Structure 1
Amino acid sequence: MDPTLSSDAVAIAEGGGTSPAARLLTSGVGARPLTLPSSWTAKHVRLASLPYEPVCTENLTPWLKLLPCGRHRGLAALLASLVLPAAEAPLLSLSLVTTRDELSTVISASLDVVLPSSSEDRAASLPDWLKSFTERQVDHCPAAASSEIALWSPGDVPEIIQRLAESRVQPAGPGFRGQVSVFPTRVLSQVENMAQLFMGFPEEARTTSKGLRVMRDMLSQEGRSERTHGRYLLRLSNHGTGRHVRFLDQLPFFIRPLWHTIRAVWRSDNSDEVLELAGADALRHLALTFTASDGLRSPTDLSLTVDLSPGSSVSVFLDVLKNFIPFREFSYACEKGFDVAGAVWLDADLDVAGSGAVGSNIIAPLGPSLGQEAQPGRNWRLHFTEGMLVMVPMPDFSMPFNVIALSSTAVTFFFGSVFRITAAGRQAHWCTESGSKKRALHPVQVLILCIIAGAVALNAVTPEQLAQFRAVLPEAGGYGPEFFGYVVAAKDKVDSILSKR
């Protein structure tokens, strides 16, 4: 695909266009990824993606740092919601816009996701996202409280929006259908059920390619490791009307395609015949063009064009090699594989598809034309595929831990032996001086033994011996009889205790 724009598109890029496409085109979108040539100017349109991990929490962290009111309140709550990781077709993009006087330049970052308008089938939906946003103290953030939400409606504006304070309605603009409702974010707390904001939306708010399916995956080769070899699969299936499809993809620098192994298979539900082409014949039949990677950082860009009749399908197989990556390029969880960004494909009716040149008919779907009326020559529809996980060869990251553990064990044994020889002496270290001495009885133990011996002696004394003891006991100042009474009482107590046993 020629990256040079048509005359109308050039005027649009320079800011001098007056057509509806001039109001839609921004310099941050494009139609084909190409390596920037030396003569590249703003009149060219590009589509590019990161080599891997296009959308993840690590990529959103710089945005959260720039937003006011912290990471979990205000506008940052839009990115902190758990609904976004479950969304389909996420896309991060940067837009560079230069003013007409070329005195200033504005760089804006945008995050595009596809969320269902109802949560009946899925837990993560657009109402759930807005609800989680309002629950994170939006009013406490001046930037979030002063922001506004623009909601396009294909028909009449829902009544709930008309009742919101400070809401206003304006037409979508020339060449567009429906209306646009604008209201502050702080009034979202007045809406009990967020699904009421999307009442009246048709199931298909925009014309979609019904019956057309695109499958893109990285398969493994039989008998070979999936970390060093793979097979790129692209399958286009058409179960609707005849379509003209243009497919654009980028393979990261660590995936090297083997173009001599390409194979394409055409099938049709209306016939048992199967057309299979390989090599150069398949490249010509698919109108496939590519820009090879330099083997360092630039990706491999490829694009192909096919016409699919009703009930037909085409499958493209391409063997690839996976190059080794410097260990500093790996993330903390590289065992799961590398996340590769999604591809882009456009489709149009066969009878009005035209030559597929890069012009206003292809540029228009890349802009915010959700409510645009279908017009002849501008019926291309833009789609994004899902990303994919690619297993790559990786080093053994557990080796540093094993080396440290074994080295520490050896050093511990060495210094332990040195300490045993030099400092511990000949005596075993578990023997102590106090343990070698004879163990003496505790005074309490001696007292208990004396009490037991006295009780046994009192029990053995007979009445005759008590009488003799009373006869020989001196008066001792009058305390002799009293002491004898204590002895008799003690003997009676001991005898009574022992007699019970």
Structure 2
Amino acid sequence: MKFPDVFVFLALLAGSGANEQEKFTEELFIRQTSTGHIYSHFRFLTLWETDIRDADARAHFRLFPRTLGDILATFRVQELKLALTQGFWRTEKWGYPVESAPPGGMVVARFLPSVENVDEAWSGLTSSLAGLLCASLNKLDQREAIQPEYTFSNEGISGDGLSSNSSYLRYGLLPRENMCTENLTPWKKLLPCKTRRGLATLINSGHMQKYSSYQSIGLSIRPVCIDPACSTPSIELKQTMSVVFDPVIMNRKADNVNWSLKQMFGIGLTPSCPLSHTSTAFIDVTDAGYNLEPPPQKVLDFGGGKPRKIGVYDLKTFSEEGIRDIRAVYPKAHIYGVVRSLPVQVSRHVVGTGQERGGIVTTIKNTCSTPLTGVYLDLVPWYIRVYLHTLRVEVNGEKISPERVVYRPGQDRVKPYHLEMVLKLPPRSTTTITVETEYSVLRWTEYPPDANHGFYIGSAVLTTRLPQDSRSNATFTHRMDSSLNYIFWGNPETDSVLNIFTETLLVTMPTPDFSMPYNVICLACTVAALAFGPIHNITTRSLVLVPPEEEEKSLLGKLLAPLLSLFSSILGKTKSAKIDQPAESTESTEPTESKDK
């Protein structure tokens, strides 16, 4: 029996032992953006019929990962949202993603009311997640985390024994913690079939790192209900991954925008995971302009007004005989037109010159025909001081007052600055938020190794709800069921709450000359070394006159002594021979001279 057959047999054996209390689904959604980039979104859902408030009842684990279950039970976690992202999602060009995430690392956690000390639970949770995903999430201590008031409200159910107060909520950012292979590998091990079967086989880190422009993995946990009466609470584990490819880079031709799964991921669709309840691939073919080979098994109409066309591939039957590829081929050269403006856009940048003072400017554009209410949240590190009296909010050039403002000043080396506002966004308006900042002078041990590169400020986030006539460019999931099957097949009324993250900012702080201490240390060590040797010899040794024949020779001197004596004797004989030769020549010339006389 081959190894894959053995794995399938063991997986089916484990699945036969699992009852209906656990369900696993795997889904893939592919959409081509207006700029021609290919957006691929993986979604793996594990539903477990158990109460998140009862940690003792979760003693046996089947599909739900035990390592994650132990973390939830130890730190009394009610809801958790984690994301690790490499790159920046370009909303104005790619549209709205299914799952929003800022560049770097993000952790949002809500704890149960039974937690006595939320700060200690937050510290233990981030340290455990750091070890689980091989990331530096343990740096999200009180200096990097805040307590939001209006942002990141409950995504799961609420009731007795569940918290809805913001005092049990924590939010932290690590803008420099990019996703890499060492994070992706433990993330894949949390899946029931790992990467042996199903859609997870497409997640090839080496191939994606080569061709992708954006990568993001996510992990989310929340309490849900499996029926409208909510008779049985459950735990939903959602693992997501978003990847963006550029067909021009993959094909290495500017006029070739064809794509396929094998080009993007290095392999086609394999048979589904034996433990999965459903395994489906969805492709948005609305105004695509290309032909899918092979064609989808079914095409669904999704959304109101002008519905979108969604092609469906059921992996339970589509690839049951082996690996199959899906290709998108354009019948003729494709020319992309003007990218349409989105209903809501957010951008942020730094202003000011020098390394002492500056400012942060955020621009919010509302192109909808109806007014919107948005919540703006900004987390600024403690070493960049934010002054509330410099806050200025303008709409189309006119100064306004926010509906509500939450400002918690930071404290050096203790906590960051927290700025949160509730804003009214008029239709077809541009809102500008400006605040002045001051840069601190850090200790030389607080600078990173590449201090001259600058310091990062994490992304700000705008939370709003899109109107009914502006949801055609977005894909929202339902609160009762987060699966794509539920929204594409059932077409229910979804929750249109949208989180838009801005760019990360790079600021230049007052940086000392780190080469000067290095030069001083080298010079001081050199002088000390040169002065120490002679002084030590003079103060610890005594000078004694020793005859040459009594001098104690070293091991090397003893080995070289015979050679030196032999060389001296040969040299002495040579000199004596040169002295005797002139004497003999003088005696031979004297008789000749007498005869001549």
TM-score for the superposition, normalised by structure 2: 0.44
Tell me, what secondary structure is at the counterpart of 1:56? coil
- Is residue 82 of structure 1 aligned with residue 204 of structure 2? no
Q: Distance in 1 between matches of 2:175 and 2:497?
A: 28
Within 2, Cα distance between the matches of 1:128 and 1:196? 9
Superposed, 1:282-431 pairs within 5 Å as 282=400, 284=401, 286-293=402-409, 295=411, 296-297=414-415, 300-310=418-428, 312-323=429-440, 331-345=448-462, 382-392=499-509, 401-402=518-519, 404-417=521-534
- Runs of at least 5 residues in structure 1 that lack an aligned partner in the other structure: 1-13, 16-25, 268-273, 354-360, 427-431, 442-501
| Superposition map of 1:102-181 within 5 A | 105=235, 107-112=237-242, 127=259, 131-134=263-266, 150-154=281-285, 160-162=292-294, 169=298, 178-179=309-310, 180-181=312-313
The residue identity in structure 1 corresponding to 2:500 is H
CA contact (8 A) 1:248 1:343 kept: yes
Deviations 1:313-366 (A, max 9, x none): 33321112345667777554343233334333356778999xxxxxxx9987x9
Match of 2:391 among 252, 262, 282: 262
Q: SS at the partner of 2:172?
A: coil
Contact 2:376–2:423 (Cα < 8 Å) also in 1: no
Question: Given residue 522 of structure 2, which amino acid in structure 1 is its aligned partner?
Answer: A
* Cα drift, residue 218 of structure 1: 2.2
Given candidates 376, 380, 402, the residue that maps to 1:248 is 376
Contact 2:366 2:430 in 1 (8 A): yes
Cα root mean square deviation, aligned:
6.4
1: CA distance between counterparts of 2:415 and 2:243?
27
Correspondent of 1:53 among 161, 175, 183: 175
Match status 1:97 vs 2:225: no
How far 1:404 sits from its partner (Å)?
4.5
Q: Post-superposition shift, 1:231?
A: 0.3
Contact 2:261–2:327 at 8 Å: present in 1 too?
A: no
- The share of aligned pairs that are identical, in percent, is 15
1:314 alignment partner, SS class: strand
AA partner of residue 307 (structure 1): L
Check conservation: 2:291, 2:331, Cα contact below 8 A.
Answer: no
CA change 1:263–1:216 in 2 (3 A) is same
- Would the alpha carbon gap of residues 95 and 393 (structure 1) be closer, same or farther in structure 2, given more than 3 Å must change? farther
Contact 2:375 2:462 in 1 (8 A): yes
Aligned to 1:235, the other structure's residue is in SS state strand
Aligned CA distance change for structure 1 residues 346 and 107 (closer, same or farther; 3 Å): closer
Is 2:195 aligned against 1:64?
Answer: no
TM-fit CA distance, 1:63:
3.3
Residue in 2 that maps onto 1:356: none
Conserved in 1, the CA contact under 8 Å of 2:346 and 2:501? Answer: no
Tell me what 2:129 maps to: none
Tell me the CA shift for residue 112 of structure 1: 3.9
Change (3 A) 1:133 1:318: same
Q: 2:406 & 2:421 partners in 1: Cα distance? A: 6
User: Which SS does the other structure have where 1:289 is aligned?
Assistant: strand
Counterparts of 2:489 and 2:501 in 1: how far apart (Å)?
19
Deviation at 1:79, TM superposition (A): 7.3
SS at structure 2 position matched to 1:339? strand
- Which stretch of the first structure deviates more once superposed, 294-303 or 248-257? 294-303
Match status 1:230 vs 2:352: no
| Code of the aligned partner of 1:263 | R
Q: State how 1:15-54 maps to structure 2 within 5 Å.
A: 28=81, 32-33=150-151, 41-43=162-164, 50-53=172-175
User: Over alpha carbons, which structure has the higher Rg?
Assistant: 1
TM-score, scaled to structure 1: 0.51
Q: Is the 8 A contact 1:232 1:317 kept in 2?
A: yes
**1:256 deviation in Å?**
3.4
Q: Tell me whether 403-412 or 151-160 shows the greater mean CA deviation.
A: 151-160
| Aligned-pair CA distance for 1:261 | 0.8
Equivalents in 2 of 1:129, 1:424: separation in Å? 85
Deviations 1:265-323 (A, max 9, x none): 444xxxxxx53x3xxxx4x2x3352242553345514134233444x533321112345
Secondary structure, in 3 states, of the residue corresponding to 1:386?
coil
1-structure distance, mates of 2:204, 2:461: 29
CA contact (8 A) 1:345 1:384 kept: yes
Q: Which amino acid aligns with 1:81?
A: M
Deviation at 1:233, TM superposition (A): 0.3
Q: 1:218 to 1:440 in 2, by over 3 A?
A: farther
Judging changes above 3 Å, is the alpha-carbon distance between structure 1 residues 91 and 77 closer, same or farther for their aligned structure 2 residues? closer
Provide the C-alpha distance between the structure 1 equivalents of 2:327 and 2:321, rounded to a whole number of angstroms.
12
